[in-house]
Structure 1
Amino acid sequence: MNKYLIIPGFKGSDDIHWQTLWQNGPLLNSERMEFEDLISVKKGDWVKPLLNKLINSDDKYTIVAHSLGCLAFVHTYARYVIKNVNAAFLVAPPDVEQNSNAFFLNDFAPIPKFEFDIPTFLIASTSDPYCTLGRAEKIADYWGSTFINVGDKGHINSASRLGSWPYGLKLLQQLESENSILIHS
């Protein structure tokens, strides 16, 4: 069965964050990745539980990750053999290598430089304080991800006042339709 695995970022996703609204609305077939400490800046505190979740599940997942959750997923996928992920929707990954606002997350550096073998979208904003648009595009190139610029949306989080972010949901549906074409062709 295909499910959505929602991976929140640093400090989690509050009640008005699009991830929470999606989980409670259009993505009812989803579960949120639970981490013991969402304010930890140690890569192992994120990668180990995510790896355990993925390798111990019979479900197939479409990943829906935000911010640090993107890097947790990418570090996990790049390092281990993960067979049950169909696609990844990666929103606003922080630039832990070159952005001084994100240096406190430097345990996640370096950013893995590898190409995914699954369809991935990297969604970025022109005004993200944790990653410039140019760097986001470069990171998408590293990963072989489709790069999508959503304009002036900050860190694409609750402060961006996106509500249930209908445009993001359309992008997720587009990713899934591309994945369906790849699976069935």
Structure 2
Amino acid sequence: MSATVLILPGWQGSGPEHWQMHWVRRRGYTVVEQNDWLRPRRGDWLARLDETVVDTPGPLVLVAHSLGCIQVAAWAAFSSHTARVQGALLVAPGDVETAEMKEQLPGWQPIVRQPLPFRSILVGSQNDPYCREERAQALARDWGAQWVSLGAAGHINADTALGDWPEGHALLQTLLKE
């Protein structure tokens, strides 16, 4: 049975030009919908991911962007369903421990730093305004994720104009083939 791909957008969701939504439209991947994209509550987001994992048959691969990466790490630390996940593509994690983000996203600190119990790839950028490259590399190390740098690609979102982002999809394919 091939794995189901679950898309985990970050804070404020992913708009129609975001590469995640291109993948949803073109490949039929499933978005883990949240009740409130603007005021994300950590417990609600973790519960929603756990419910989706339980309700989705077969193996899973997670594709997270920004706050979604922080969500995956927090979820993996408590869920008894992590064995269902064969891998995670984590893109442009948002550093919720900065002073500005602590204020805007209360309750998301501290970032869970324990190794993920599944294979993961973390894609970061040299000039991400929401997470310094060194910080993203440290998260990759802590989570046991393979580090991939996109160079100067900002927050790797719609503003980066990646469209369908075939390079990212190639990374996802390596996780799907496991």
Counterpart in the other structure of 2:15: 14
What is the letter of the counterpart of residue 8 of structure 1? P
**Greater mean alpha carbon deviation, residues 99-108 or residues 54-63:** 99-108
What is the rounded CA distance, in whole Å, between the counterparts of 1:121 and 1:81 in structure 2? 22
Cα distance, 1:152 vs structure 2: 0.8
The alpha-carbon distance between structure 1 residues 24 and 87, as it changes in their structure 2 partners (threshold 3 A), is: same
What is the rounded CA distance, in whole Å, between the counterparts of 1:123 and 1:55 in structure 2? 27
Cα distance, 1:42 vs structure 2: 1.9
What is the letter of the counterpart of residue 73 of structure 1? V
* Contact 2:42–2:108 (8 Å) recurs in 1: yes
Cα distance, 1:101 vs structure 2: 4.3
Aligned residues: 175
> TM-score, normalization: structure 1?
0.89
Counterpart in the other structure of 2:76: 77
Once the two structures are aligned, what percentage of the paired residues are identical? 35
* Contact 2:76–2:117 (8 Å) recurs in 1: no
> TM-score, normalization: structure 2?
0.92
What is the letter of the counterpart of residue 19 of structure 1? Q
* Contact 1:125–1:151 (8 Å) recurs in 2: yes
Alignment of 1:45-64 (within 5 A): 45-64=44-63
Alignment of 1:1-185 (within 5 A): 1=1, 2-25=3-26, 27-28=27-28, 30-82=29-81, 83-97=83-97, 99-103=98-102, 104-177=104-177, 180=178
Structure 1: 5+ residue stretches without partners:
181-185
Cα distance, 1:70 vs structure 2: 1.3
Structure 2: 5+ residue stretches without partners:
none
Provide the aligned C-alpha RMSD in A.
1.4
